[in-house]
A and B are shown apart, each in its own frame.
Chain A
């Protein structure tokens, strides 16, 4: 089956209430074009997970597409808080299972290895754990180490229905490179039932074969490949383009109120037909060229 798809086709493969793992980290490699299309298609009731909450999850939460967020806390770095996620938590409209970075990574790791549970030293004694026992008691437990008798906190694996990953390069089969730190992305993809790869560059399989040690995402786990330049805008993609600081600032400011956020959506999500229209709206070729990464610095 041909995997190369339009963004609209890939998004249409996601059902309401699916568990979707997203590749963003704060303001880097966020699945922004994906989030905008999910909102345009009116998909709702999602469970969204990622190690560190990022701009993609925040926009989806603000648009009412998310019922439950499973994450390790997050922000827009110095640009601000995850206003939509935080507002949802404060007002009780969003169920938040809040872990730590490592406990999320371990849950994906356990999912990727097909383990029944994973022991962890983190969370003990904290209110993070106390709160999880209230909102996610089925996800945590205790076991005795059969060798030493020690008591261990254990976490259930995460097995997302689909991982959506923003990468720098992939071939038509979905074999993909992630340049720079991968944070939780490799375990996310390998824990998930399938993956959607959104790639800045589509490369021939020969390029993959000539540097196979770079393949982080194996094609056989991928259902859809979407070739879409600047798909993470306004967030950054290492060695491709920098974040758009002014645009993120505009978002951070607009999302402080529900009205401001809806106005932002009207302009940048509902107000455009597709990603290409969006790129024109945010500044077009000139602006995007200015954001293009320096090859030595990577940003």
Chain B
């Protein structure tokens, strides 16, 4: 059935993201792919998923493209409009957020994320966005899913600045810092990874149709764990692609 079905890497990643979400869960999202993944999950296997945005927005149904979380377009038809203390405090900090989606300038072999600066933190560097709610989500969510482009400059052995902690330097380091949870998946446009239960190092789970193992490894600046012969990522179904294109994102507003 799916033979000959055409889809973009973005659509495949959104479907892979949706697959990670279970019905009844509370998910902290940012703009873009996580929103599509969440809406897709809601319309298929997880109708009672709750989506929250850090500044105080729950379950919106936007009909126009927003430029960011601060854009009222993103809040349209929300069930709740409240505050940071309400969302990041009484929900996230209390431990009720099951999944958080995170992205960044770069991530590393242990799922740490950098959204703060590139260069030498003690010398010459370029400053970017910083944390926002990312550090809070990485610190307090039960698990996080990292979405990042598969490029060697974005996938390093160690990030130059840990804005949002993953497993830090691996094996017990996160727990020692007093943190629970941690990243459960990394979804790129070439592959899906999880983390080795012992070493907490990134481990290849599947390779997207069209990509090869060589391709995956050549565009990484570190060596992930590669167990045996990794399978192909399950492709989207025709119905999933139809939902994304016709119902969730007919204007292609999230895809950019």
A residues near B (Cβ < 8 Å) are 25-28, 51-54, 71-75, 77-79, 81, 85-86, 89-90, 98-106, 109, 120-128, 131, 151, 153, 180-187, 236, 238, 242-243, 245, 293, 297-299
Contact = CB atoms under 8 A, between A and B. Distances in A.
B71 A27 contact: yes
B67 A126 contact: no
Contacts of A124: 139, 165, 177-179
Contacts of A185: 83
B36 interface: no
B162 to A, nearest CB: 4
B127 to A, nearest CB: 4
A219 to B, nearest CB: 20
Given A26-B70, A101-B84, A125-B165, A180 B132 contact: no
Summarize B's interface: helix, strand, loop or mixed. loop
Q: Which 4 A-B pairs have the closest CB atoms?
A: A73-B130, A77-B68, A125-B177, A26-B70
B131 interface: yes
Contact of A183 (B84, B93, B115, B127): B84
B135 to A, nearest CB: 4
A125 B162 contact: yes
Interface in B206-225: none
Contact of A125 (B71, B129, B173): B173
A27 B130 contact: no
Contact of A126 (B54, B64, B89, B135): B135
26 contacts: A26-B68, A26-B69, A74-B129, A77-B67, A81-B127, A90-B127, A101-B55, A102-B92, A121-B140, A121-B179, A122-B93, A122-B135, A122-B139, A122-B140, A124-B165, A125-B178, A127-B121, A127-B162, A128-B116, A128-B130, A131-B121, A181-B81, A181-B82, A182-B83, A298-B72, A298-B76
Contacts of A85: 127
Contacts of B71: 27-28, 77, 236, 243, 299
Interface of B: 54-57, 64, 67-73, 75-76, 81-85, 88-89, 92-93, 115-116, 121, 124-136, 139-140, 161-165, 168, 173-174, 177-179
Given A74-B130, A151-B178, A181 B55 contact: yes
Nearest to A29: B70
Given A81-B129, A124-B177, A151-B178, A28 B136 contact: no
Nearest to A105: B84
A105 B88 contact: yes
A299 B140 CA distance: 33
A102 B136 contact: yes
Given A78-B68, A238-B75, A123 B125 contact: no
A120 B128 CA distance: 24
B2 to A, nearest CB: 34
A30 to B, nearest CB: 9
Given A27-B70, A121-B179, A125-B177, A100 B133 contact: yes
Contact of A75 (B57, B129, B133, B168): B129
B178 A187 contact: no
A52 B132 contact: yes
Contacts of A79: 67
B126 A126 contact: no
A109 B89 contact: yes
A103 B84 CA distance: 10
